Structures are given as C-alpha cells and as structure tokens.
Amino acid sequence: MSTIQHGRTYNQNHAARTYAKGKRRISIYWTWSYPWEANRDLTEMDNRFSSMTEVRRVSWPNFEGEQWNRMNFLQGIEGTLELFHRSTLDFQRIAEEATGQPVAVFQRIDQAGYRLPIDERILADTDTLMVFGLDHLPSEQEASSEEIEAIRNWLKREGTCLLLAPHHDVGFTDDLKQRQVEYKHHGDELVPRQQRFTAYTRSLMKGLGVPVLNQYGLRPAVVQGTNQIAPLTINKDADRLGLLNGVSTFNFHMHLPHYAVTTDDARSIQVLATQPIDLSRPHPFTAAGNREFNAFLWMPAAGDRAGQILLADSTIFTTLFGGVDSLSVFWRNIAQMS
C-alpha cells in the first residue's frame, strides 16, 4: 500500500488535536516576528538572516535547481526563513509516525501579520511545546507576564514538557577583534560578525526561573579525517528519562550555543550531554580552558511543576545542516518520552 501524501495548507486556524494516552501532541513555536526579520535592510551587516540570494551565492551550486529560482522560491530573507520551515518537515514526519498526532507549527508573528502569544490557543492541546528561539535581539520580542503565567500553569499538568531552544549569541562584545576571532572560529560566511538571539526565550527563561544563558556560537569538533561530527559526551547516569538511549551524535552545525548553567544547585538542572569543540580554531571560550560546550540539559519536575523542561538548540531538529540515524533516534525519544 502506498502512503497518501497530504496537500499543504496555510493561513487557517489550528484544528485542536484530541488527547490520547501515550500519544504526545507536539507543537513548535517560532519566536520571531516573520515580517520584522524578512523586512530587514540588506545593507545592515549585523543581526539579520541572510537573503536567499546570499545563501545561493555561498552554497553554490546547492540551490541552483529550478525549484529554487525566482519563479518558484522567494529570493530575499523570507526565502531563508522558509528554508527553516522546510527543514523541520522530517522531524514532523518522524514525530507524527511515533505519536499518531500531527505536529502543530506556530509563529509569534506570521507572514500574514497575525500575532500569536503563547496562551491557551496553543497550550490546550499541546503536551510538548518546543520554543525555537530564532528572534534577533533588536526585534525586541519579550515574553509577557501573561505568557509566563500561562506556561507556568500549563507545566503543572502531568505529562507536559517544555523544550527551550535559545540559539547562539555570536559577537556579543564591542571588541571588534574578538568578533573577528569568533567569526573565524565558526567559519560560516552567512553569519555576520554579530548575530544575537533570542530576547524572547531569554525573557521566558528568566520568568520561569530556568538558570541558563545561551552563549557564543561554537563549532563542533569532527571525527579526525572525516566531516562527521564528533560523538557527544553523555551523562548516562543523569539521563533518567532515557532521552539519549541509542543516541551518539546530533547533527553538525557550525555555530552552536553553549548553555551556561547559572546556578550552583546541581539538583535543579542536569547537563545530559556536552559537545566537543573544534580546537584547531581559536575562540575565547576554549582559550579559557573549555574543551566542550553544554548541548542538552534537563530540569526535572520540582515543586508544583509536574512537567519537564529541556534545553537543546533548534537546529538539532532540522535537516538544513545534515542528519544522521542517531538524530532520528533522538527525535523519536523526544516524541515518545514518558
């Protein structure tokens, strides 16, 4: 039997999913204002996404097929934003196969200008909420007190999981020499000397008491003589939910954030996995003696919070930067977590 392929839909209200025991309902929330990001002045060098034309130039000839030309695909910054949307389709497919529930996708402000804060319209039929923090700091996206309270109340519900994914913070310093060192370290021509994310997720973490700060954009090490990302260092004893069972690596991305833990309370948050850094490229973080960065963290249920809180970068759930079998296993573990 052949699998029926569904047509694509857009610009309609979300149809609520019915609760079924053991069948998690997963929702993705992009924290950006799509219009603000897409309308950025291309003469501005910092704190913006690349245009699709810039992507094509740097990645040539990967996007030179007919499907990427101006007749069939957007050529400005909005084209790059659509690449992010397309890149989560494999995760959505695997998650739906694992749960029997479609993955819902929301944006803080979407292409049509509709604003959607996190409230009951999202939370009522969501068991796992994935907050993908890809808003640039200058766009001034902030979680309101009402949103923080709504999420706090939602996390009192048994079986909920909040996955926070603040992206990198490249070139946060006024020292231009350090910005250049950071740029040379990650080596991505499409990332400007300063690209800072994400005011929204940071404000959400502050409001919820998540003791983490996203720092830098670090290039992972690779297995010597290959272009394959080096294996994670996994704290198996701390992984009581089994989220990293069968997982050895995530996907390679040139600038991943270090999730710095800002509390001494080791019981409140666990670092489940760290990623070795490419030490052949100088960086202030490695100059300070660090050899790995925090890649995957877990805050167990505590107090009146029955839900789990996880931290992992959003690019781990995309295929823009490649994918491996280990990543698919991780996706299934997240989708089927108990």
pLDDT, tens only, 180-192: 999 999 999 999 9
| CA 84 to chain centroid | 10
Do the strands 308-312 and 169-170 form a parallel or antiparallel pair, or are they unpaired? unpaired
Q: Two tokens at 3? A: 């699998």
pLDDT at 9 over 90: no
How far apart CA 261 and CA 293 sit, in angstroms, is: 11
| Residues 309/162, Cβ–Cβ less than 8 Å | yes
Q: How confident is the model at residue 80 (pLDDT cuts 50, 70, 90)?
A: very high
Q: E-assigned strands of 134-211?
A: 161-166, 169-170, 195-196
DSSP 2-23: PPPPPPP--SSPPPPPPP-TT-
Please choose, from the candidates 169, 212, 203, 206, the residue with its C-alpha nearest in 3D space to the C-alpha of residue 310: 212
| 3-state SS assignment for residue 302 | strand
How far apart CA 71 and CA 21 sit, in angstroms, is: 45
Residues 21-30, mean pLDDT to the nearest whole number: 96
Q: What angle do CA 9, 12, 16 make, to 5 degrees?
A: 95
Q: Two tokens at 281? A: 């490229």
Write down the pLDDT at residue 10: 87
Q: Two tokens at 213? A: 């700060």
Write down the pLDDT at residue 1: 47
Write down the pLDDT at residue 227: 86
Residues 37-56, mean pLDDT to the nearest whole number: 97
Write down the pLDDT at residue 260: 98
Q: Is 0.85 surpassed by the pTM of this model? A: yes
